[in-house]
Chain A
Amino acid sequence: MFLIPDPVVRFFHRMASPPHFYALTERLMPWLVVIFLLLTAAGLYGGLYLAPSDYQQGDSYRIIYIHVPSAWMSLFIYVVMAVAGAIGLVWRIKLAEIVAISSAPVGASFTFIALVTGSLWGKPMWGTWWVWDARLTSELILLFLYLGVIGLYGAIDDKRTASRAVAILALVGVVNIPIIHYSVEWWNTLHQGPTVTKMDKPSIHVSMLIPLLLMALSFKFYYLIALLQRARTELLLRERNAQWVKNMISEAK
């Protein structure tokens, strides 16, 4: 602990306290929404209007501005969920459990969007809605993992026990993450290889890359907003008998 500066420790202590978390996220929300809307407007303007058509794919490639950021988010949120789950499992921090379970529906949504927009992009470009190749199949398994987490959590009445079960399931499913990422390199597939994350030189023009990165950032902020909305609801449900919730309601009257 002595390596971490004191204000940082105090910040996390406060954040882990339910009433502080509830009040702080309420004040934070309008700012997050404004940043999200600005990023999205800039990203869509750049991607749908300013960026030129692709010389091979025409305008169909513009699906990339939601497909790729969604696919990135589907992996990112899974890792956040598993890490938050592990923290909840080890230190029994209520808010970590809530962050883990509140991430699941958002992650499932991004996985669903990645799959459907991929399908809508695949039909005109590959001539098929779906192929059972490694990338598409492992991404579909990711959707089932998210749905499994949501289902398991709903099936267990005691939410502290449910959180432990969900964390273990999420941690086991982490093996799928590198499989999805490397699937286009390990197996032959219709799906194209990485174009952005090649560190030496991304094989995408800068006028197409900037909107893509803006959309990726906008989706990060969206996740934060959706996660906090879910977490606030989940927190209230769990803390319904706590004094701070009772005080808040009697003050609101």
Chain B
Amino acid sequence: MTMQEFFAMGGYAFYVWTSYGLTLIVLLANIIIPVAQRRQFLRSLALKQKRH
């Protein structure tokens, strides 16, 4: 199987790769969002403690 054949997915490239791409985006977002929230919150807590 060549690379082209693999990516063509027997003519179903649009349906298959859209499914996989969308899944990747949603799953990544579910990790990035809570981690970013936590970092931001920890920073704001540290700032508050410094002021006291």
Contact = CB atoms under 8 A, between A and B. Distances in A.
B15 A245 contact: no
A59 B8 CA distance: 9
B19 A249 contact: no
Given A63-B15, A105-B30, A117 B22 contact: yes
Interface of B: 1, 6, 9-12, 15-16, 18-20, 22-23, 26-27, 29-31, 34-35, 37-38, 41-42, 45-46, 49-50
A232 B10 CA distance: 44
Nearest to B29: A109
B45 A240 contact: yes
A60 B9 CA distance: 7
20 contacts: A49-B1, A58-B12, A59-B10, A60-B15, A62-B12, A63-B19, A66-B19, A66-B23, A109-B29, A113-B27, A123-B15, A124-B12, A225-B31, A240-B41, A240-B45, A245-B45, A246-B49, A249-B42, A249-B46, A253-B46
A132 B27 CA distance: 27
Interface in A200-243: 222, 225-226, 229-230, 232-233, 236-237, 240
A250 interface: yes
A249 B45 contact: yes
Contact of A229 (B18, B19, B20, B34): B34
A145 interface: no
A70 interface: yes
Given A233-B34, A252-B42, 15 more contacts: A58-B12, A59-B10, A59-B11, A63-B16, A109-B30, A113-B23, A123-B15, A124-B15, A229-B31, A232-B34, A232-B38, A240-B45, A249-B42, A252-B46, A253-B46
B9 A59 contact: yes
Nearest to A222: B27
B40 to A, nearest CB: 10
A53 interface: yes
Given A58-B10, A117-B19, A252-B46, A109 B34 contact: no
A120 interface: yes
Nearest to B13: A59
A126 to B, nearest CB: 12
A127 B16 CA distance: 15
A106 interface: yes
Given A59-B16, A109-B30, A116 B49 contact: no
